[in-house]
Amino acid sequence: MKILKPLLGDSFPAYEDFIAKITEESVGLNPEWIYYKDVKAWLCKISFKKKTVIWLSAQDGHFRITFYFNKKTIAGFYELPIAEVLKNVAKETEEKKFIPVTMEIRTQGHLEDILQIIEYKKRTK
């Protein structure tokens, strides 16, 4: 936390709110910061039981979360009641084997869309 607060700056309250919400018993996610030598960076792997749901990285002034979908699970993602801009991000990279949906978080908004995606991701195989 001591390192994250100055790095995230004004977005630190949004980070704290995000972590508090996803670790509530009703959501049930478990964040784990791990240093990856191959990318020489700390990444937060956020899991539900043994399943990775979100990857989080801290950037200068914001944090970034990424959900990965495959060709089978992306169809259900497009049916979620979330902002169209998020669906468009996925459509731009759909040719790849894994389709990333990345959000840069600076404020405490977007949480409802994120929770919708989390619940869907928890159900997918």
Write down the pLDDT at residue 82: 94
For residues 66 and 86, is the Cβ–Cβ distance under 8 A? Answer: no
pLDDT-derived band at 1 (thresholds 50, 70, 90) equals: low
**What pLDDT is attached to residue 108?**
81
Residue 66: CA atoms inside 13 Å, Cβ hemisphere, count? Answer: 14
4: amino acid identity, one letter = L
What integer pLDDT is reported at residue 3 of this predicted model? 84
Domain boundaries, given as residue ranges, for the chain: 4-120
CA distances 19 to 30, 55, 108, Å, are 9, 13, 11
**Comparison of pLDDT for 73 and 109, the residue scoring more:** 73
The predicted pLDDT at position 109 comes to 78
Supply the pLDDT for residue 97. Answer: 84
Q: What is the mean pLDDT of residues 107-125?
A: 91
* Domain topology for 4-120: Aspartate Aminotransferase, domain 1 (3.90.1150)
Q: What is the per-residue pLDDT across 17-52, written as a single tens digit (0 to 9) for each?
A: 999 999 999 999 999 999 989 988 889 999 999 999
Confidence at residue 94, expressed as pLDDT on a 0 to 100 scale:
67
Render pLDDT for 94-112 as a digit per residue (tens, 0 to 9): 677 889 999 999 988 778 8
Query: For the whole model, what pTM was predicted?
Result: 0.91
